[in-house]
Amino acid sequence: MSFYGWPISQCQSLLTSNPLLFQLQSGIRALDIRLSIKDGRLISFHGIYPQRSPFTSILDTLCQFLTADEGSSECIVVSIKQEDTASPLFTSLVHSEIAASPGGDDIWYTESNRIPTLGEVRGKCVLVSRFGELGGEALGIHPDRWPDSQKDGFEWNCGETLVRVSDWYAIPSFLNIPEKVAHAASILLPLHPPTSPAAPSQNQNTLSITFFSASSIPLALPPMIARGFGWPKWGLGVSGVNERVGRWLLSTFAGDAPNPDARSISRFFNLNTANPKKAQTIRKKGAIDEPRIRGWVYMDFYEDPVESGVIPLLVECNFRGRKLGEEGWI
């Protein structure tokens, strides 16, 4: 919902009169909604910049999509973060405005401390609450911590599921784009072998949440990081995050991407354009056979680059590396 405040706060393009519905119709199924209290109601904000859409309008659009034929079998992950000063009123307003919206509580999954199966939440919004508690109990999937811009990511347990998060957003400059993409991409791949003390076995359920977005002033503004700048194909400019992610996904589908660790992926992103022959050697040495890329992905200006959109490639990840008995259709 960050459509205003270019070039600092704007992170998506205002493509239609109802850009949220357009996103949903384009295949987006995970939303990062930031809200603040204004005149006793919730309104979308990004940082200190108002984004003009009241929460009630967002709720109307979500219900409109989920009750239409195209969305009745879908689910939407809705992460809500409080963007202003912490206040108990915020949680109460989220609860009351959802209850009063079209569809009300019936189209929301708000059970705490458990990741649902897809079959449980078709036709529903799955709430991730990055804000306080209501009556001493968290509302929806509720992280127990969220370190600010931790480069190596962090983990937390939601019931029986290990949740892995990459949200390193305060990168120093556009020169760190390859490193940023490497960290964000590697967390989407399976733990192999499980190296985290929080992951006792490979059989534990895991959920990866990654942010390809980044922002810092003045050398890493959102449009610059997502889209890049100049003419990188001719060596005059820098390729943005979105193009690099698309290239990585295509290479992974073809079995040409490096092994799933941040260092080898970083070398791939650095060398793929700078030295094609050397990059090809790395890809051949470290190729993985069956890509299994899973998780919730958040990215700025998701429709760019237009000529090679990333969203269809991310959707395709749902059907790659599936194993009988591990992932069902229900």
Q: What is the pLDDT of residue 23?
A: 95
Find the length of the chain.
Answer: 330
Q: What is the pLDDT of residue 273?
A: 47
CA dist 259 and 289 (Å) reads: 10
DSSP state of 293: -
Sheet of 108-109, strand order: 49-54, 41-46, 30-38, 75-82, 124-130, 108-109
Q: What is the pLDDT of residue 35?
A: 97
Q: What is the pLDDT of residue 284?
A: 47
Q: Do residues 28 and 12 touch, judged by C-beta distance below 8 A? A: no
Q: What is the pLDDT of residue 266?
A: 60
Q: Record the tokens describing residue 251, joined without a space.
A: 């290479």
Cα 154 to Cα 21, 126, 162, 164, distances in angstroms: 32, 21, 11, 6
The DSSP bridge partners found for residue 205 are 161
Q: What is the pLDDT of residue 291?
A: 78
Question: Which sequence spans correspond to the domains of the chain?
Answer: 1-142, 145-329
Per-residue pLDDT of the chain (330 residues; tens, 9 = 90+): 999 999 999 999 998 999 999 999 999 999 999 999 999 999 999 988 999 999 999 999 999 999 999 889 999 999 999 999 878 899 999 999 999 999 999 999 999 889 999 889 999 999 999 998 655 567 899 998 999 999 999 999 999 999 999 999 999 999 999 999 999 999 999 886 544 555 445 567 899 999 999 999 999 999 999 999 999 888 899 999 999 999 999 998 887 766 555 556 665 556 454 454 544 544 444 444 577 899 999 999 999 987 768 999 999 998 888 777 666 554
| CATH node for 1-142 | 3.20.20.190
Q: Which amino acid is at 268?
A: F
